[in-house]
Amino acid sequence: MLDAVDGIITVVETGVTGEDRWLCTLLLQQGYKVEYCAAADASTYAPETFKEFYNQRRRWIPSTLANMMDLMSDYHRTVMVNDNISYLYMMYQAVVMGASMLAPATVVLMVAGAIHVVVGGGLYWLWLAVSMGAAVFYMFVCFR
């Protein structure tokens, strides 16, 4: 829940991950404008190993999609309350979310197509199975 009194913003934790992104979503839904500030000081912990990076991305991607869904689930009210958000922007968010969901399948199909072009023959389904097997192997290695 977000409450703004006298310019002080209070956030009550609701179990949603990606709190900074979620705060921006809540601010936008309440009619506030969120801007970039180059002069802001921030510190962060950057992952140093592939495993840390992978775990970070595994947490961030569902959080990002959840915030997009939250923003789009009440899109009409958000557009009415916030002068900085239009229906065109909401359509853009829907396209970005759709592309995010299709991206893994697109990569698998592109790898299968590339193998098919290089090796040739009528075995496209075999190359598709090989590329899917490579993706499954990659997930297995990353989740260990």
Q: What is the pTM of this model?
A: 0.65
Q: Note the pLDDT of residue 16.
A: 47
Nearest to 31 by CA among 6, 4, 8: 4
Q: Which amino acid is residue 2, in one-letter code?
A: L
Mean pLDDT of the region 84-106: 90
Neighbour tally for 71: CB within 10 Å: 22
Express as a percent the part of the chain with pLDDT over 70.
87
Tokens 């009528």 found at: 122
Q: Note the pLDDT of residue 3.
A: 52
Nearest to 143 by CA among 17, 63, 54, 61: 54
Q: Note the pLDDT of residue 91.
A: 95
Q: Note the pLDDT of residue 93.
A: 92
Residue 25 predicted with pLDDT over 90: no
Residue 82 predicted with pLDDT over 60: yes
